[in-house]
């Protein structure tokens, strides 16, 4: 069995697919991940964390 890997989503994305990929990885609805991320942005470093995640997390098949 192949180990579970985190990828940016190509199908469930609004900006870069980070929240969709995290939702797929955790088997959680991506809307919940987006809501939690929005709360994180309001608390401070969320935008920088999203940009870092978009750079670090690879797209599937690349």
Give the angle subtended at the CA of 20 by the CAs of 41 and 28, to the nearest 5°. 95
Based on the number of CB atoms within 10 Å of its own CB, is 33 exposed (0-12), middle (13-18) or buried (19 or more)? buried
Q: Looking at residue 12, what DSSP letter applies?
A: S
pLDDT per residue as tens, the chain (62 positions): 788 899 999 888 888 999 999 999 999 999 999 999 999 889 888 888 889 999 999 997 65
In this prediction the pTM is 0.82
């Amino acid at each position: 069995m192949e180990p579970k890997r985190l990828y940016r989503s190509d199908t469930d994305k609004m900006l870069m697919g980070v929240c969709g990929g995290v939702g797929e990885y955790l088997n959680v609805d991506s809307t919940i991940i987006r809501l939690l991320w929005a709360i994180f942005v309001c608390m401070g470093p969320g935008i920088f964390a999203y940009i870092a995640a978009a750079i670090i997390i690879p797209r599937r098949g690349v």
